Amino acid sequence: MVIAGIMSGTSLDGIDVALCDFNTEADSMEFKLLVANTYPFQRTTRQFIEKVINQEISVSLISNLSALLSELYAQSVIELCVSAGISLSKIDAIAVHGQTVYHQPTAVTMGEHRVRSTLQLLDAPLLSHRTGIKVLFDFRSADIALGGQGAPLVPIFDKAYFRNRDKDMICLNIGGIANITCLPAKPEQRIKAFDTGPGNMLIDLAMKYYFSKNFDDKGHVAETGTLQHDLLMELLSNGFIFKIPPKSTGSESFGQHFLAKIVSQHYLAEDVITTLTHFTVESIAHNIESFCTESGIIIVSGGGAANKFMLKLLHKRLPDFAISTSDTWGIHPDYKEAIAFAYLGLLNIMRLPANLPEVTGASRRTILGSRYEM
């Protein structure tokens, strides 16, 4: 079964598309990555998404952006297939996360009611009609309806493809937000997975503010700055870092408003980038040590896998762990989440539950995702 997984995350760098061929006859549902690519967002598209995330919004902007993103998702799938010489008719389904612009898994009061919600922008019928392919989408809502966080969604994939019976495994994804999946070697121990705090998000926002660049390439800027210990201590006072899982977060907690408090203190630009990089590493390390294990193997994916300075700090901070990027395990760090969504799409098609209640806090397991087919 061939499924195109699509991911556009909180880093707002673009659209990742991974075309996966799953062997549904194998017990492990092995897959072959046929082709993958990233299609960067144009500056104006990023600005539209940032306006919605920062709540500088109108109903028309949300509606139009949903359509725009769906057109871009369709264009990305079509371009990938054309470049690889693969017919669209060979694809059984598109599994797409949509663009998260709001995530509120804890209840808030609205009038006489308490509600929890999440919003990923997508026009599934539009995407399906543009490509002629069945679309699987809205993977968070079912878990939230059952009292869960609706996140993280990738642990079911990590469990299937990375669990090791000899050593504890930590799957660390450093995207806009950093999240981990803790896979104990002992099968009787439960899997844990949750967001640890910011990944690249604050670093990227600061790079854009100070240097008009989208990210710190390989961590070169952070390597030139000086760690500001007082600022780091202030950042580490954030309650989310020490919150007991299950927990999830996003740009509503670690976005522009968070950065504004930092830049108002007039530190040197390079020192801010350095300190934010240390903050990301320390928040990851604290959560691994406090809620997972004291030693094991850490497999890094996401954009942070390319930040050599960040990985250097992580090695230093967690000396009892063997740390490597996911490509050493056969999965490209840039496309792991897109591949994982293809896998979630496969589980939806096979009508198999895809959430892990011990991870999200949901009351029970359930099938994730909705579907639209022409």
pLDDT tens digits, residue range 65-107? 999 999 999 999 999 999 999 999 999 999 999 998 888 888 9
Q: Are 210 and 272 in contact (CB under 8 A)?
A: yes
Regions of the chain where pLDDT drops below 50: none
Q: What is the CA radius of gyration of the chain?
A: 20
pLDDT tens for 304-342 read: 999 999 999 999 999 999 999 999 998 999 999 999 999
Residue 112: per-residue pLDDT: 96
Q: Same structural domain for residues 277 and 361?
A: no
Q: Same structural domain for residues 99 and 194?
A: no
- Record the tokens describing residue 320, joined without a space: 């009892």
Q: Same structural domain for residues 207 and 351?
A: no
Residue 105: per-residue pLDDT: 86
Q: Are 209 and 259 in contact (CB under 8 A)?
A: yes
Query: CA-CA distance, 175 to 48, in Å (whole number)?
Result: 20
Q: Same structural domain for residues 341 and 325?
A: no
Q: Same structural domain for residues 101 and 164?
A: no
Q: Same structural domain for residues 168 and 276?
A: yes
> Could you tell me the residue range of the domain that residue 313 belongs to?
155-329
Q: What is the pTM of this model?
A: 0.91
Q: Same structural domain for residues 130 and 161?
A: no
Task: Read off the CATH number of the domain in which 36 is found.
Answer: 3.30.420.40
Residue 44: per-residue pLDDT: 95
Q: Same structural domain for residues 166 and 263?
A: yes
Q: Same structural domain for residues 159 and 39?
A: no
Q: Same structural domain for residues 165 and 136?
A: no
When divided into structural domains, the chain yields a total of 2
Q: Same structural domain for residues 61 and 190?
A: no
